[in-house]
């Protein structure tokens, strides 16, 4: 089964491919500028189907005027790429001093939040509980990296402090009402349906998932939808449905509001199969969002270079993906209120070796952008 994290061997293959591509590639075909093609923006097109359109963002994006202006013009939802992950929002010194796990946003998170508010963006929170990018000291006695692991009871207390602390911090800073969705848990289910082992399962047990939603439901305002978010969703849709069924309170009420599909796709991926997974997840009746969309050229083990032909294939893939979502949303068969692309342009994407985004490294439009805008004649089709 394909894994999306890069192993050293794959990394070396990717680097060699990039060097080979740089030495042999032909000059890029420049597509007509977006304004020459249409008056529409991504946000006007998605708004026409009752959806927000988002991108992930970092401090670097808002500090680059050209990029920041384009983001503000095209998108209306933002997710922090890193700055709101557990690694960045927990203060060890203050936790030691107070004896309680203490949340404190750093300057990057604060400046992106200020920018988002100034430009009227809605926000998705990412992420409260995860096995990765989470400091090990939060699991240890005295919040000390050399301490022993704490008990289940103590870890549940810390989880509650983390979750309540995030919502309190957002309220204190004046940004809570920007948020319409929050990833409570990221990436807990393996492809075989088992729960991924990590410090949370080791100390609390598999029911850490239930507790995370219980606390999130307790502290998040009603206006914030609570999401479970995962990748390779097309291979584990049934397991995600089973998990969602366990996330209910004693009265049978869902603690979870939605399932986030990361949608880290490749042009070699079977699109009907992907949309079939969307349909399976929709049967839960929960909200769905595509939360981290990128469409890499080729496949995981073998990236393709950004030739005109490969970029056209990506454009068609993006066109058909978004068309499939719009058709389902318009027919009322999915309850999807947002789609978020992960990385604004190829140059700053975490998977830049696959050229997976809507704008290229020069911030010029790609066929994929016209695919997302549903402008078929510029999306890579030969008429």
Please check whether residue 118 is in contact with residue 161, taking contact to mean a CB–CB distance below 8 angstroms. no
Beta bridge partners of 149: 140
Q: Which is nearer to ligand GLA, 210 or 227 (CB)?
A: 227
Instruction: Identify which of residues 159 and 293 has a Cβ nearer to ligand GLA in the complex.
Output: 293
Structure tokens at 146: 């050399």
Is residue 350 a contact residue for ligand GLA (CB under 6 A)? Answer: yes
CB of 198 to ligand GLA, least distance (A): 14
Size of residue set near ligand GLA by CB under 6 A: 6
Which residues within the stretch 307-336 sit at the binding site for ligand GLA (CB under 6 A)? none
From 81, 160, 169, 187, the catalytic residue: 187
Q: What does the per-residue mask of binding to ligand GLA show for 83-122, with x meaning CB under 6 A?
A: ----------------------------------------
Q: Give the residues across from 340 on adjacent strands.
A: 54
Question: Minimum Å distance from CB 352 to ligand GLA?
Answer: 11
The one catalytic residue in 108, 289, 292, 353 is: 292
Over the window 173 to 212, marking each residue x when it contacts ligand GLA by CB under 6 A and - when it does not, the resulting string is -------------x--------------------------
* Per-residue binder mask for ligand GLA (CB under 6 A), 120-159, x = binder: ------x---------------------------------
Least distance in angstroms from the C-beta of 375 to ligand GLA: 28
Residue of the chain from 160, 257, 292, 353 that contacts ligand GLA (CB under 6 A)? 292
Query: In the set 34, 239, 262, 284, which binds ligand GLA (CB under 6 A)?
Result: 262
Compute the least distance from the CB of residue 317 to ligand GLA, in Å: 19
Q: What is the distance between the alpha carbons of residues 374 and 326, in angstroms, rounded to a whole number? A: 10
Active site (annotated) includes residue 301: no
Examine the residue annotation and report whether 187 is marked as an active-site residue of this protein: yes
The minimum distance between CB 172 and ligand GLA, in angstroms, equals 24
Q: How far is the CB of 342 from ligand GLA (least distance, A)?
A: 6
Going by C-alpha positions, the residue among 53, 34, 72 that lies closest to residue 370 is: 34
- Site map 206..235 versus ligand GLA, x via CB under 6 A: -------------------------x----
Q: Minimal CB distance to ligand GLA: which residue?
A: 350
3-state secondary structure the chain: CCCCCCCHHHHHHHHHHHHHHHHHCCCCCCCCCHHHHCCCCHHHHHHCCCCEEEEEECHHHHCCHHHHHHHHHHCCEEEECCCCCHHHHECHHHHHHHCCCCECCCHHHHHHHHHHHHCCCEEEEEEEEECCCCCHHHHEHHHCCCCCECCHHHHHHHHHHHHHHHHHHHHHHCCHHHEEEEEEEECCECCCCCECCCHHHHHCCCCHHHHHHHHHHHHCCCCCEEEEEECCHHHCHHHHHHHHHHCECCCCCECCCEEEECCEEECCCCHHHHHHHHHHHHCCCCEEEEEEEEEECEECCEECCCCHHHHHHHHHHHHHHHHHHHHHHHHCCCCEEEEEECCCEHHHCCCHHHCCCCECCCCCECHHHHHHCCCHHHCCCCC
CB of 296 to ligand GLA, least distance (A): 13
Residues lying near ligand GLA in the complex (CB under 6 A) are found at 126, 186, 231, 262, 292, 350
Catalytic residues: 187, 292
């Amino acid at each position: 089964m394909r894994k999306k994290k890069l192993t050293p061997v794959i990394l070396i293959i990717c680097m060699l491919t990039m060097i080979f591509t740089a030495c042999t590639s032909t000059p890029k075909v420049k597509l007509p500028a977006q304004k020459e093609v249409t008056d529409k923006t991504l946000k006007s097109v998605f708004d026409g189907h009752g959806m927000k359109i988002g991108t992930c963002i970092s401090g670097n994006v808002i500090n680059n005027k050209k990029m920041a202006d384009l983001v503000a013009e095209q998108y209306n939802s933002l997710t922090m790429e890193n700055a709101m992950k557990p690694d960045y929002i927990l203060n060890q010194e203050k936790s030691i001093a107070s004896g309680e796990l203490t949340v404190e946003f750093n300057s990057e998170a604060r400046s992106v939040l200020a920018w988002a508010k100034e430009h009227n963006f809605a926000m998705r929170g990412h992420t409260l509980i995860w096995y990765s990018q989470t400091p090990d000291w939060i699991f240890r006695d005295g919040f000390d990296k050399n301490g022993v692991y704490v008990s289940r009871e103590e870890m549940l207390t810390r989880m509650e402090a983390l979750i309540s602390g995030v919502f309190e911090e957002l309220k204190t800073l004046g940004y809570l009402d920007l948020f319409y969705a929050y990833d409570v848990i990221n990436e807990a289910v393996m492809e075989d349906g088992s729960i991924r082992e990590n410090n949370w399962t080791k100390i609390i047990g598999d029911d850490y998932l239930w507790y995370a939603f219980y606390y999130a439901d307790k502290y998040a305002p009603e206006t914030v939808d609570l999401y479970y978010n995962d990748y390779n969703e097309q291979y584990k849709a049934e397991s995600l449905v089973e998990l969602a069924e366990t996330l209910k309170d004693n009265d049978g009420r869902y603690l979870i509001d939605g399932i986030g599909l990361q949608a880290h796709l490749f042009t070699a991926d079977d699109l009907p199969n992907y949309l079939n997974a969307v349909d399976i997840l929709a049967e839960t009746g929960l909200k769905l969002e595509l939360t981290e969309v990128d469409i890499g050229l080729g496949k995981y083990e073998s990236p393709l270079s950004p030739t005109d032909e490969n970029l056209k294939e990506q454009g068609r893939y993006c066109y058909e993906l978004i068309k499939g979502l719009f058709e389902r949303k318009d027919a009322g068969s999915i309850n999807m209120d947002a789609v978020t692309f992960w990385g604004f342009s190829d140059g700053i994407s975490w998977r830049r070796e696959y050229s997976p985004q809507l704008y290229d490294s020069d911030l010029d439009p790609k066929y994929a952008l016209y695919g997302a805008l549903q402008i078929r004649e510029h999306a890579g089709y030969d008429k």
